[in-house]
Structure formats: structure tokens, C-alpha cells
Structure 1
Amino acid sequence: MKCYFYVWLVSVLPGKLICKEGNSGPTHESLKAVFDLQPFRPAENLTNPTITNISFTLYAVLGVAQLLSTFLWLRLVGYWHNEFLVWDPEECDGVTKISLPVKELWSPDIIVYDVDDDVSQACPYVYVNHTGHIRWDRMLRLVSACNLEIFSFPFDVQNCTFTFGSYMVSPALTFKEMSANSRRYLEASGEWELMDILGETSILQFGVDEWDIITFWVVIRRRPVLYVVNLLIPSSFLMLIDILSFYLPPHSVDRASFKMTLILGYTVFLLIMNDLLPSTANGTPLIGIYFSVCLALMVISLLETVIITNVLHHSSMKYQEIPKWVKVIILKHIANMICYRWPKEAPLPPRKAPEDKPESTNSNSGPWKESELQEQWCHVGYVLDFLLFRIYLLLISCYALVIITMWCIWISQS
């Protein structure tokens, strides 16, 4: 049967399509003979392989889901040679290219791997050159699944893989040319920026069958301006306000209420901005840890205010003597360490009244003593407030330095 078919094929198609005078291009009769051979590979000698060359242009990244499910508009161009579609332009009124229905011609079995969904806008025509080379443009809307590395969000770089396979396939353009073409379309559009397109060819073997595989790595980087403006800068402003709140009088109850209001506002801010953060089971982004630590620092700041308020109001219930170890550690050593300046009008330490004094003299020393103890407890509270404030500043400075250093390292590496 193969021999009979080959003889019939040669008799029908002598090598070139027939063009008649008055026709712009090959005749319908000669093309009809090619259409009848649509199920068969277009090679006069079946031992000659039909190689398909492919390339694509990345137009846009339309969205990112939990596993970097990217909606990509791809331009898949398949080039292959149809030995039956050859004609002489001089005999065909100078026609060098025609379009034919793709369903009437043989098409290669190009398979796209690593794809969850393929919502394609099919192009019904192919473009045929007079040499028999065919170009097939297809606009593909692919939903690819790649592992989402979000730890460095919003300064993250993602690497998505696309794999094309066929029996005989090779790239039509170099990977640098594909990257340059795609970068022109993605240069000023969307949230993502194309960094590079890499690739390699390999052979996949299934028993005695061998498939050519082309693997593309699309490296894209997120544009962080939106998240820096909407997340990092407002959060930094709220932390700055929390630091400045330490300059409120520590003996005033307004400081505690102000800090509680600030924490409430920061919590509402996190709830509103939660939709902007990527969610995935692979890990937590560093910016999420940053927000959590900022909230924890605000809570620590509130606890510090509660402690200072308790110390400053210690004498409101009972005017107790300050323990000796408190005077030595806090009023002497810690005060000198943090360079605490004592007010000029600070009262002297209380003195015991002589035992031989009459009771009338001791009765007048009560208010004076209560005022003196209150002043001393106030000094203890101020010293602790100065100390805790500097420790708080040190924690925030070290934390900010670590975060900025890590992000700078990732940016330089990307």
C-alpha cells in the first residue's frame, strides 16, 4: 500500500504547483490536491525529516496567583517545510506568499508542557512562502504553574519554565533575540519586568521513541514601587510617630492612650493591606515578618509606658521610701550611663527628724516628706523612661539595618 500511495503521490504532484495565466498564484486544482494529503506528512521522500522551528514573544504577564500562575500572552511561531507547496513566482504573477486554511494542511504536533490551562485564540490561517516554508502565528493565553519564591517580596525575582516538545523541533530564533523582542513589549506595562529568557534543547526518550524538547526559563522581576508606596512608607511613618510619642510627658495618661490608638490604627492598616501581600504555603514573605515585628515593637512601647506610669504614680497610693538598691542602681549608675540631667531645683534626700524634737515640729514635716518622696519616685520614672527609650531606639535601628541590608543584597544579586 505504501508503494502504491507513493506512485500516486508523485503522479499527482510533480514537484511544483501549477500556475495558469490570469491567476495570481497557484491554481485551486493544484492546491486541492495538496489539501487531499492533509493527514500525511508533507515530504516526497518519507525518510526526510520535517523539522519544526519555534519561537515566542512574551507580550504581558496578566496576573499572579498563589503558585505564580501567570497569564501569559505568547506568540508561538512554527516554521516547517511543506515540499508539496512550492511554486515559481515568475510563473505565478510574482506571488511569493499566500495564506491557506490551517485545517486543510498538515501541522506539527507541538505540545506545551508545564501548563495548567490553554485558552487559545486560534488563528485559522497559515502563511506559505513560495519555497514551501510555512509560518503559523498563534496567540496563546497560558496559565503556567511555577513555584513562587516570595521571601524577598516585593523585591522578588521569579523563574518560570515553559517546555515545548515535538518529534523534530528546534528554536527559530536565538534566546537573546526572543528576550529582546519580548522586553520591548513588557518594558512599560504591568507589574512585572522581564529580565531574561534562557533556554536549552534536549531529547526525551520514551522506549524506542525520541522527542525533542525545548525548555525556556522566563525570568521576571516584580516592580516594587506600588508596594513600597502603599506598604513600607506608611508603616515607617507609623513607627516614626510611635518613636516621637516618647517625647510626650511620661506622667501624662495621654501617652498610653495615644499609643493604644496608634496600635489600633496599625492593626487596621494591616487588615486593609493584607490583600496586597501574596499568600502561599511555601513560606512567609519578609515584609510580613517586618509588619509583625513592627506591631510587636509598638506593643513593647506600650508596655514600657505602662511600667513608667506605674512607677510615676507609685506615690499616689502610699508614699513609700525608695529602696536603697534602687537609688544606687537607677538614680546613680543608670542615670550617669544615660547622661540624665538632674533638675536644679531637685530636693535633697529626706532626713530623719531628731528624736528630741517636740511633736509639733514633726507634724509639719509630713507634707514636705511626701513631696520629697514623690519627687524621688518621679526621678526614678524619668531615668527608666530615658533608658527604655534608648533601648527601644537601638532595637528599631538594628532591625531597620538588617532589613535594609537583606533587601539591598537581593536587589544587587537580581
Structure 2
Amino acid sequence: MASCNKAFVLFYILLVVLIFDKRVESLGAEEKLLRDLFVHYDATVRPSGPDHTIIVDISFELNHIDFDDSKGLFTASAHFIAEWEDPKLKWKPSEHDNVTLVHLKKSNLWIPDISLYNSVGNKALDIFSDNGVIELEHNGLILWSMNVQMQTLCDLDMFRWPYDTHKCVFKLGSWTYDGLHLNLFHSDKLDTTQSFTQNAEFIITNFTADREIVYYSCCPEPYIVLNYFIEFTRRSSAFVSVFVMPAFCVAIMTLGAFWLPPHSGEKILLNGITLIVITMYQLYFIANHSTFSLRLPLIAIFYSLSFVLVSLSMIISVLVLASSRSLCKGQLPPGLSKILKSRIGLMFGPTNDSKKFDQTELSHHFEGGKSYEKFSLICTNNFYDDWTSLGIILDRVSFVVYSCIFLLIGLIGYL
């Protein structure tokens, strides 16, 4: 009886072994390979000894950029690739039906904790998400590829807006491993801008990377940081027609008010229209430009300065109108009379012919069916000419001063 029981047990064991072997044979070569590789594999443990350094090569390929200059927020979409060697995941292709490459999930193996140090918002380099592709070669080389979107803050210098150029940096490194356990290098595996989609507002002028070794006061070990510098320039053609050309027109309108006749009330009207235009652009800059900029845009400074200059121009126009429209004011004070005879008065003052014309008034009247012309003096004294001449001198001197100011601002913006 006992012998029968033993024979039955042996038969049962043999049957189980045959079924298991049959099931194993039915599995694909890749399935058997993965089963063998991950039998004793722990994805939470660095797959190397304490004295061995894992080297990770990182490369980027930019796809698109966006820059919010009201907040200084820079966003980049890129194709990210990281490569390293896992000594625990090697096999001989000859022993596994010549399988040399398999695809894995990131949850199945150890991943270096590469992070974006200077990230903002929720656009960090999230290495723990399930997106991306993992390729494992028979020599233990792992290639991790995925699309990422990163955000960081840039130092804003809007002084030459809309001809401004900005330089932003992405800092990549490990949160937990120092350079003795996880060493990072930049790889040229990808062309940094080959697949770049042109931005409607910005042009990339430079994209470089460097490797930085950082030491902290808390720890003697070195930490590796990869810096990716992106330099881009604004496409200024649209902004030139909308902001730069009107600024030129504001300067012309301001200067033109000084060449209107001294008794013309349109001087006040022209200055008033110029002030309205300047106010509209100032409201735009307040609403759309960052308060975090290191320097205000030169064009915004121009509009603010123009507001002050036009206000002063309006005061000058009022003084000129007051002096030219009132008759027989009386004799000029001695100090003002000296201005008319000084070098400035001789250089900017009206000619003698214009004075003589201002003294008389031409009129027409009909008598007996005939037309007669009559010339009469506006003022019996010669004081009117002096006051009007003083106003003309004030207009022309102001024109020269304002022209120098506008020219100086233009040279600063150009250089």
C-alpha cells in the first residue's frame, strides 16, 4: 500500500513538471528573458555597489518655446533622452533566441532621480510619471526617452524692448545622489534645434550646455548640475509698426507745434492730441509689461518723458500765445530786451521784414463801386514786435532743445 502511494506521488510530481515545462516552452523568448532578469531585481535600490559610479548621459531636443514677459515665465517643450548602464540587467543573446533589445515600463527598474532644480509651477521634469519609453539592450544599456515640458523664471531686462534678447537656464541634477554615485554628462545624441517649431514671436539664437560641479557647506561630496542655456530674441517687425513708429510721430508732432505761427491756437490743440496718444500707450505698458523687469523698456521711458515734455510744450505755447495776441503790452523789461539783442536773439529771432509785416494790417473796402486797399498800423508804438519776437525766440530755442533730447533717446535705443 505504501509503495502504491509513493508511486502515485512520483507520478503526480512528474505530471506537474511536464506541464510546467510545457508552459515555459509556450512563453515567448522576451517573456522568459524578462522573467529571468527581474527575479531578484529591486527597482528601489541603485543597481551598483557603493564604490561604483553610475554615469548618465542626457540630451535635449527643443520642440517649442514660449515666454510670458508679463511674468518672466519661460516654458520649453523638448524631447528628453537619458542613457545609463545597469549591470544587473545584462544577458547573452545566444542564450535567449538572439534577443538583443526589450521594452520596459519605468516601474520595473531603477531610474535616476533627475530633476529640474529651478522649476516653477507644475512643469517640473517629472521622472516618476508613466509616460516615456524605456529600451534595454543586452549589454545593460538603458535608454529612457520622453517628451517633457519645463517652466522656469528668467531675469527680465526689457530695456531694449521690442529689440530685447533674453537668456534663460534650466538646471538639471539629482536630488539624492552625489557625483560619486551618480555622475551626469551632456550628450550630443540629439540635435538641439532640429525639430524646433518656429515661434511666432521669438527666435532662438543660441542653445548651449555646460556641466557644473557644486560643493555644499553641509557635505564634502561633489554634486553634478547640468545647465542648459537658451538665448532667444524677439521678432520685432510687428512691434516696430505698432509702437516704434508712433513714438517717432509723437516726436514729430511735439516739434511741429513749435513751428506753428506764434498767434495760432492750434499749438494747444496739437499738444493736446499728442498727450492723448501718449496716455494710451502708457496705459498699455502698465497693463501688459512686467513689474519684475530689471529695467523699464526704453520706449516706455520715452513715452513717459514725452508726456512731461509735451506738458512743458503746452505751457510754452500758452506763453507764446499770450505775448503774440495782446496788443500794446508795454515796453519789455530790461532783462528780456537784452535777449532780443543777444547772440541767441540774433540767431533765433525773426527777420526785420517779418517785424515790419507784423506792424501793419492789410484791409479791403469798397467805395463808389471800386475796391481800395488800406494798410494800417496795429500798434502806434513798436512794442508789439518785441513781445512777438520774444515768443518766436522761445519757440525756436525750445525746438532745438527738444530735438536734442529726442535725438539722444534715439541714439540710446539704437546703440
The structure whose residues are more often strand, as a share, is: 2
Give, in whole Å, the separation in 2 of the partners of 1:136 and 1:285: 43
Cα offset, 1:157, TM superposition? 2.8
Give, in whole Å, the separation in 2 of the partners of 1:397 and 1:64: 32
Which residue identity lines up with residue 49 of structure 1 in the other structure? T
- SS of 1:271 mapped into structure 2: helix
C-alpha contact (below 8 Å) 1:245/1:259 kept by paired residues:
yes
The residue number in structure 1 matching 2:120 is: 116
The residue number in structure 2 matching 1:98 is: 102
- Number of matched residues? 365
C-alpha contact (below 8 Å) 2:133/2:146 kept by paired residues:
no
Cα offset, 1:50, TM superposition? 2.9
TM-score (norm 1): 0.74
Cα offset, 1:64, TM superposition? 2.8
Say which of 226, 246, 254 aligns to 1:215. Answer: 226
Cα offset, 1:393, TM superposition? 1.8
Q: Which moved more, 1:185-194 or 1:285-294?
A: 185-194
Structural mapping, 1:308-387, within 5 Å: 308-315=320-327, 319-330=329-340, 333-338=343-348, 340-343=350-353, 346=356, 369-370=379-380, 372-387=382-397
Give, in whole Å, the separation in 1 of the partners of 2:332 and 2:147: 81
Which residue identity lines up with residue 280 of structure 2 in the other structure? V
- Note if 1:53 corresponds to 2:57: yes
- SS of 1:73 mapped into structure 2: strand
- Note if 1:80 corresponds to 2:91: no
Give, in whole Å, the separation in 2 of the partners of 1:142 and 1:55: 15
C-alpha contact (below 8 Å) 1:24/1:93 kept by paired residues:
no
The residue number in structure 2 matching 1:141 is: 149
Residues 149-185 of structure 1: per-residue CA shift (max 9 Å, x gap): 33444423324241312441221415xx76x513751
Cα offset, 1:332, TM superposition? 5.5
Say which of 389, 406, 409 aligns to 2:399. Answer: 389
C-alpha contact (below 8 Å) 2:348/2:397 kept by paired residues:
yes
The residue number in structure 1 matching 2:268 is: 256
Say which of 156, 171, 176 aligns to 2:165. Answer: 156
Cα offset, 1:305, TM superposition? 1.1
C-alpha contact (below 8 Å) 2:69/2:289 kept by paired residues:
no
Give, in whole Å, the separation in 2 of the partners of 1:310 and 1:347: 19
Cα offset, 1:70, TM superposition? 1.5
Q: Which moved more, 1:140-149 or 1:322-331?
A: 322-331
The residue number in structure 2 matching 1:171 is: 185
Q: Structure 1 pair 124/170, CA: closer, same or farther in 2 (3 Å)?
A: closer
C-alpha contact (below 8 Å) 2:70/2:289 kept by paired residues:
no
- SS of 2:193 mapped into structure 1: helix
Structural mapping, 1:172-187, within 5 Å: 172-174=186-188, 181-182=192-193, 185=196
Cα offset, 1:263, TM superposition? 0.6
Residues 23-64 of structure 1: per-residue CA shift (max 9 Å, x gap): 764333643651651335474766543322222233322233
Say which of 283, 306, 309 aligns to 2:318. Answer: 306
Q: Which moved more, 1:285-294 or 1:304-313?
A: 285-294
Give, in whole Å, the separation in 2 of the partners of 1:333 and 1:208: 76
Residues 218-249 of structure 1: per-residue CA shift (max 9 Å, x gap): 13233150433332222222222222233322
The residue number in structure 2 matching 1:199 is: 210
TM-score (norm 2): 0.74
Q: Structure 1 pair 345/37, CA: closer, same or farther in 2 (3 Å)?
A: closer
C-alpha contact (below 8 Å) 1:52/1:78 kept by paired residues:
yes
- Note if 1:265 corresponds to 2:269: no
The residue number in structure 2 matching 1:126 is: 134
Which residue identity lines up with residue 163 of structure 1 in the other structure? L
Give, in whole Å, the separation in 1 of the partners of 2:354 and 2:279: 43
Cα offset, 1:264, TM superposition? 1.3
Give, in whole Å, the separation in 1 of the partners of 2:33 and 2:389: 107
- SS of 1:57 mapped into structure 2: strand
| Percent of pairs with identical residues | 17
- SS of 1:117 mapped into structure 2: coil
Give, in whole Å, the separation in 2 of the partners of 1:205 and 1:320: 82
C-alpha contact (below 8 Å) 1:96/1:129 kept by paired residues:
yes
Give, in whole Å, the separation in 2 of the partners of 1:339 and 1:402: 32
Query: Structure 1: where are the runs of 5+ without partners?
Result: 1-19, 350-365, 406-414
Structural mapping, 1:56-71, within 5 Å: 56-64=60-68, 68-71=72-75
Q: Structure 1 pair 380/45, CA: closer, same or farther in 2 (3 Å)?
A: closer
C-alpha contact (below 8 Å) 2:167/2:231 kept by paired residues:
yes
Query: Structure 2: where are the runs of 5+ without partners?
Result: 1-23, 360-375
C-alpha contact (below 8 Å) 1:50/1:168 kept by paired residues:
yes
C-alpha contact (below 8 Å) 2:77/2:148 kept by paired residues:
yes
Say which of 297, 303, 325 aligns to 1:291. Answer: 303
- SS of 1:294 mapped into structure 2: helix
Cα offset, 1:336, TM superposition? 1.7
Give, in whole Å, the separation in 1 of the partners of 2:358 and 2:48: 114
C-alpha contact (below 8 Å) 1:347/1:372 kept by paired residues:
no
C-alpha contact (below 8 Å) 2:85/2:142 kept by paired residues:
yes
